[in-house]
Every structure is written in structure tokens, then in C-alpha cells.
């Protein structure tokens, strides 16, 4: 039993797997911002040649997009990719639904 939720660990894990997550790709981010991205939890993808980070769906996404625009792209117009990943796609080789977001 987990102390705060009073549910079993396996049930909590299964519920977390069902929740949708989104992956943000910081496309064409300036090289000088790599340390900021790394400290924020982004990971470098050599195949895609960009930084990415997994987030929960919801208000966290808008806060992250605002942070990217302000701290990485210097309040300039930029584009990032957001990929929606459900429980069936997240741990497979399949891609989720991708969309381009203009900052």
C-alpha cells in the first residue's frame, strides 16, 4: 500500500500508464541554450538532432512552451513539435500524433 493514496503500487502504476503524455521537441534551438535545456530535463536525440522532454498533458504544457519561447528562443518566433503519446504508443516503436506549435 502506498502511504498517501492508500492504494496498491501496481494499481497506481496501471493508472499512470493510462494517462496521456506529450513529448516536446525543441527544433532548431540555439547551441548556446543546450545547458539550459539539459538542466530543465531535456534529452538530446542524435537521430533527430534536437532536444526533447516528456510532459504530462494539461497546464504543464503551456508553461513549458512559454519557458521555451522566453529562455531558449529569446522571445523570437519559433516552432516546436508536440507529440501526443498514449499508453499503447509510449513504449512501442510507433509514433504518436505529432503537431507543430508556433511560439
pLDDT in tens, 67-89: 999 999 998 999 999 998 877 77
Q: What is the pLDDT of residues 4-19, one digit of tens each?
A: 888 898 988 888 777 7
Q: What is the rounded distance in angstroms from the CA atom of residue 77 to the CA atom of residue 92?
A: 33
Question: Smallest Cα–Cα separation from 56: which of 95, 92, 18, 3?
Answer: 18
pTM of structure: 0.78
Alpha-carbon Rg for the chain, nearest whole angstrom, is 16
Q: What is the pLDDT of residues 20-58, one digit of tens each?
A: 788 999 999 999 999 999 999 999 999 989 999 988 767
Residue 51 pLDDT: 95
Q: What is the pLDDT of residue 27?
A: 92
Residues 6 or more apart from 88 whose CB is under 8 A from it? none
Amino acid at each position: 500500500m502506498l502511504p498517501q493514496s492508500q492504494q496498491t503500487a501496481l494499481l497506481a502504476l496501471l493508472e499512470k500508464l493510462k494517462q496521456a503524455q506529450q513529448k516536446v521537441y525543441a527544433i532548431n534551438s540555439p547551441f548556446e541554450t543546450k545547458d539550459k535545456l539539459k538542466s530543465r530535463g531535456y534529452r538530446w536525440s542524435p537521430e533527430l538532432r534536437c532536444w526533447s522532454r516528456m510532459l504530462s498533458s494539461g497546464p504543464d504544457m503551456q508553461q513549458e512552451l512559454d519557458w521555451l519561447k522566453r529562455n531558449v528562443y529569446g522571445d523570437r518566433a519559433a516552432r516546436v513539435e508536440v507529440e501526443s503519446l498514449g499508453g499503447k504508443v509510449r513504449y512501442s516503436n510507433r509514433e504518436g500524433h505529432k503537431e507543430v506549435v508556433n511560439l
